[in-house]
Structure 1
Amino acid sequence: MSARRTKFYLDCENAKWKGVCSGMADYTGVDVLWVRLGVAAMTILAGQWWIVLAYFIIAWVAEATPSGLYQDAGDAKFWQGVRSNPKRSSSEVRSRLRDVDRRLADIETLYTSRNSQLASEIDSLR
């Protein structure tokens, strides 16, 4: 079974300690520096000491990121968008597919039309 791309994973590759903050940054798409600063500020300045306990529990319960989860950075950004707003990302995919379909229709029209200039260029390539 392949790994789910919409699940929270510990990001041990970019981790400073256990990978919880870098995992939250990967899951939400926020820069890891801001997540770490937010956790530190809430723990120290706001006196929310339960965050330390939550950090240890998450580090103990969550799984590490499977290798090969994303093919490239664009794939990671796409899945971050899916996690943040699935309805918006599905409309983006629909929009991209409409654009590809329109471009393919333009190519098909150009290829099947009686364009003598195009025919002569194709023949010159042979």
Structure 2
Amino acid sequence: MNRHGNRYYLNKADGKLFGVCSGLADYTGIDSIWIRVAAVMLTLFVSFITIPIYIVTAILADSKPAYLYSDEEEERLLRKIRRREARSGRVRRDLSEIDRRIANVESHYSASNSRLAAEIDRLR
């Protein structure tokens, strides 16, 4: 029933958020979809205590060791990591562009413009 011994590990390769539900699915042998449905149902209908339990489990549990991943799972995990890195690179570039544009606007408004100053003095 338990594919990876008798230890619980976070399964980040199949995980949606932190891998808590997919790790529990690996541990129990139940499909991860049913674990996720049960977690949502417990949260909505029983108690919101499942949210802190989920977060604490994500913090305290060990990640699944690399030697326990199959080649397919490992490749899927590497693809997910590469996508995340590419996304963070795009965000960094976008933020750099926004930062540059804000600096241009700031320098335009804070720089002394003698023609504008003369025109304002004429209006007084």
Q: TM-score, normalised by structure 2?
A: 0.51
CA change 1:66–1:31 in 2 (3 A) is same
Identity of aligned residues (%): 35
The CA deviation at 1:5 is: 2.5
Q: Does the 8 A contact of 1:8 with 1:23 survive in 2? A: yes
Q: TM-score, normalised by structure 1?
A: 0.50
CA change 1:13–1:70 in 2 (3 A) is closer
Q: Does the 8 A contact of 1:5 with 1:69 survive in 2? A: no
Counterpart Cα distance in 1 of 2:17 and 2:70 = 25
Instruction: Report how many aligned residue pairs link the two structures.
Output: 69
- Matches of residues 9-88 of structure 1 in structure 2 within 5 Å? 9-46=9-46, 48-69=47-68
Q: C-alpha root-mean-square deviation of aligned residues, in Å?
A: 2.0
Counterpart Cα distance in 2 of 1:69 and 1:45 = 35
State the AA in 2 paired with 1:11: N
Give the aligned partner of residue 91 of structure 1: none
Deviations 1:17-72 (A, max 9, x none): 000000000000000000000000010122x1111000000000001100122669
Structure 2, unaligned stretches of length 5 or more?
Answer: 72-124
Structure 1, unaligned stretches of length 5 or more?
Answer: 73-126
CA change 1:36–1:71 in 2 (3 A) is closer
- In the TM superposition, structure 1's runs of 4+ consecutive aligned residues that sit over 2 Å from their partners are none
* Bigger radius of gyration: 2
